[in-house]
Amino acid sequence: MPKEKHKCVGKMRKTHGIGWNQCFNYAKVERDGKWYCGIHDPIAWAKRRADRDAMWEAEQKMKRDADSAISRRRVAERKACSSFSTEALESGAIKELVEAVDGAILGFETLDEQFLPKLEDKKLKHVHLVAMTIVRDLKAALAKLEEPK
């Protein structure tokens, strides 16, 4: 005796007009006394829905993380540049300042190598130590600027 074919009890939108039609596919599984095709099977449908929701959540999390990183960067930029005028920022004054500090550090290091052994005056040695402390602090600040993002 041939196996009886059942039609799916799932509903699908009408292609023309308003309302719903019964699915035209043959049923594959029986759930709670009703027959469903692979598309309308409640368990398969729930799995597809869960997979789609998980993928959507992952995309939203990536977007939130990216927005958070951008937001953190903008807050940091505002804090770092709050004492500078817009004109100074637009003219590149900050870059020039960094280059000038870099040049000053190089100059102090050169002087340190050439003249420190020849210094005999205690006051000059003290000034030299203060200057080298400033150079060390400036180097640390510049190193923070050059850290990879």
- The fraction of the chain above a pLDDT of 90, given in percent, is 28
Which of 83, 111, 140 terminates a domain? The answer is 83
Coil/strand/helix, residue 80: helix
Whether 138 and 99 map to the same domain: the answer is yes
Average pLDDT score over the chain: 80
Whether 57 and 91 map to the same domain: the answer is no
Residues making up the chain, counted from first to last: 149
Q: What pLDDT, on the 0 to 100 scale, is given for residue 1?
A: 44
Whether 12 and 28 map to the same domain: the answer is yes
pLDDT in tens, 131-145: 778 777 777 777 766
Whether 93 and 137 map to the same domain: the answer is yes
Q: Which domain holds residue 97?
A: 86-149
Whether 108 and 97 map to the same domain: the answer is yes
Coil/strand/helix, residue 20: strand
Residue with structure tokens 């999390």? Answer: 61
Whether 118 and 72 map to the same domain: the answer is no
Q: Distance (Å, rounded) from C-alpha 101 to C-alpha 110?
A: 14
Nearest to 111 by CA among 94, 129, 138: 129
Q: Distance (Å, rounded) from C-alpha 105 to C-alpha 131?
A: 10
Which of 55, 83, 111 terminates a domain? The answer is 83
Of residues 124 and 67, more confidence is placed in 67
Nearest to 107 by CA among 134, 72, 80: 134
Nearest to 38 by CA among 23, 55, 53, 50: 23
Whether 32 and 50 map to the same domain: the answer is no
Of residues 123 and 22, more confidence is placed in 22
Whether 112 and 149 map to the same domain: the answer is yes
Whether 116 and 137 map to the same domain: the answer is yes
Total domains in the chain come to 3
Whether 76 and 91 map to the same domain: the answer is no
Coil/strand/helix, residue 36: strand
Whether 18 and 47 map to the same domain: the answer is no
From the CB of residue 102, how many other CB atoms can be counted at a distance below 10 Å? 13
Whether 107 and 145 map to the same domain: the answer is yes
